[in-house]
Homo-oligomer: A and B are copies of this chain.
């Protein structure tokens, strides 16, 4: 019988923010696979490290992160072939995903190559969005409010409109757009209800009121959260 492909959310960074279910899968699968940059370590594997029983076959999915070259279809085709060899031999394979597999993860490129003709099971995980909110002590939305998750790459007008039209907004992929995002939020008069969070739930976690964040750019694992004030939230 063919093996099962798991898309395994390992959570935002703290190894204890993995689910019991993902932990159980990690303990029993003979093969794990995980994304990694062209050079350097895999964050997903680092998160899972403490939970691995050892002696598993490991597939390192190295993909070029050059803008425009992603997603690299030929690269995913090659890794899919390697994963398929294990599945067809009856071995379960778990693909480790930072946060949740279906939220801004690269797992979808593996997923679409197997769904339909293999057994695929996705184990949802704690996303970086809720981890950032927890780190900042910032309740995001309640009742009939709108939450929007946007990339910082949107142009200023679009960004402004979406933040203005949402009770809470999570702005991802700050990079060199961080100061632009801060300017938009300042202009909207919401700087005092915004936080900057870096490496949420990790040892290097850093949380600042956005007003105190003066950087021009920000690392990959960072986020800005804007929410309405507690008065407006009806607290």
Contact = CB atoms under 8 A, between A and B. Distances in A.
A148 B151 contact: no
Interface residues of A, number: 65
Interface string A11-33: 11011111111011000000000
Nearest to A166: B148
Interface in A141-175: 141-151, 153-154, 162, 166, 173
A104 B138 contact: no
Interface stretch (A55-63, A95-103, A213-221): A95-103
* Total identical chains: 2
B151 A149 contact: no
Interface of A: 7, 9, 11-12, 14-21, 23-24, 70-71, 100-109, 111-112, 115, 120, 122-127, 130-131, 133-134, 137-151, 153-154, 162, 166, 173, 201, 230, 233-235
Given A17-B20, A124-B131, 13 more contacts: A9-B126, A11-B19, A18-B19, A19-B126, A102-B134, A102-B138, A108-B139, A112-B139, A124-B134, A125-B130, A143-B151, A144-B153, A148-B148
